[in-house]
Structure 1
């Protein structure tokens, strides 16, 4: 059985901090040839621009971004423009696909399946939409996916809306898709608990990737022995 580590962060993480943490985890996976690390967190409000560009899909002025304390960052993930913020669970799987299957398309389908299974556990009919990325409920996107892969090790990942401020999505054209909107779990289910979503994501991650997940306390001890500081609590 493969073995991955999972690190849950319990404070809001800036996007730049998230990039730094991913890089440390990426280097750790290479150096120690482990199967992977799953980082789970919520970001401070940020609009990110992927490798596909899409700055023209930012509708907000600098004044509006400053007013709502929303950062603007370019990133190496695939895809167009998206928003991250509180009430949205972001997952960054840093997986060594050399130890899984070296198939990018399969990896994307596996991420989709994790998210679809999680959403369906709340009694919500979710699925994919042909020609579009992410996971959808009808014509509204509930989870976004954008990845990067180098040396067959993954970075970036997915974001699932739980109780995110959807007004902030009005500041952009999400993923450059004008004709469809976004939704959150709370639109369909009352009182969704963030930690419950985390647990469901972890369970589905274990099942889909056929791996054990080693929890946070062990992760911190492992990282400390390797001089890798991920202790943002």
Structure 2
């Protein structure tokens, strides 16, 4: 295994999208400086719809009042893809990696992210795979994990959202990823009740295996040190709250 300087930040509770984005930017700055090769952020978001560079506002089926009542934010983002949902009961992984230290190949990177989820599901006896037309991880015709990344200077941002026991009523307010012919599914629909922390632990193991790296766990305080957040700021703003 090639020696890479990699770190892991796992957040407890729910994290707002703005907070998660600020942490991504702090991680990006550390990787850009060359002091580390990769930082993996794992968290659960408060309810939010995010819209990618491919658009997707036309796939938002709820009006502003409904979103306000449900407490769901909407953000335009720099990641690829269409509209998707993040919320409680979902593992969101943000790998901020310098691909110069792995492979400067974006399809390989996204395929590797999918592989992390596929191998995690295999631990629960679930056979998952890919669809030629659509990125993400699928169990039959139902998507269990969505992918969406952004890359600058060969440093990645954003990542995947893996449904463990997600709120399907929230998902029903959009056409996820602009796809109308297929649905979504959670791990608990397939495997029964699971321990969220256990799944998170397996995801960590699979990241280490797939990306051939040892991730040293650190606190968000380490990530926010040196006033990095103050220097970078938040590039994306909420358009509804």
Please state which band the TM-score falls in when normalised by the shorter chain: over 0.9
The residue aligned with 2:207 is 205
Residues 77-88 of structure 1: matches in 2 within 5 Å?
A: 77-88=79-90
Of 194-203 and 131-140, more deviation after overlay is shown by 194-203
For residue 12 of structure 2, give the secondary structure of its aligned residue in structure 1.
Answer: coil
Residue 146 in structure 1 maps to residue 148 in structure 2: yes
Q: What is the CA deviation profile of residues 23-49 of structure 1, one whole-angstrom value per residue up to 9, with x for unaligned ones?
A: 111011111342100000000000111
How far off its partner does 1:209 sit? Answer: 0.7
Residues 82-97 of structure 1: matches in 2 within 5 Å?
A: 82-97=84-99
How far off its partner does 1:193 sit? Answer: 1.2
Q: Which has the higher contact order (CA 8 A, sep 6+)?
A: 2
Residue 11 in structure 1 maps to residue 13 in structure 2: yes
TM-score, with structure 1 as normaliser: 0.94
The residue aligned with 1:76 is 78
Cα root mean square deviation, aligned: 1.6
The residue aligned with 1:187 is 189
Q: Distance in 2 between matches of 1:58 and 1:48?
A: 10
The residue aligned with 1:36 is 38
8 Å contact 2:150–2:158 — kept in the other structure?
yes
How far off its partner does 1:228 sit? Answer: 4.5
TM-score, with structure 2 as normaliser: 0.91
For residue 24 of structure 1, give the secondary structure of its aligned residue in structure 2.
Answer: helix
Q: Distance in 2 between matches of 1:145 and 1:26?
A: 19
Q: What is the CA deviation profile of residues 129-162 of structure 1, one whole-angstrom value per residue up to 9, with x for unaligned ones?
A: 1110100000000000000000000000001000
The residue aligned with 1:196 is 198
The ranges of structure 1 where at least 4 consecutive aligned residues each deviate by more than 2 angstroms after the TM superposition are 219-224, 226-229
Q: Distance in 1 between matches of 2:185 and 2:104?
A: 32
Q: Distance in 1 between matches of 2:197 and 2:166?
A: 15
Gaps of 5+ in 2: 230-241
Cα distance change on mapping 1:223 and 1:73 into 2, 3 Å: closer
Residues 60-139 of structure 1: matches in 2 within 5 Å?
A: 60-139=62-141
Q: Distance in 1 between matches of 2:165 and 2:109?
A: 27
For residue 126 of structure 2, give the secondary structure of its aligned residue in structure 1.
Answer: coil
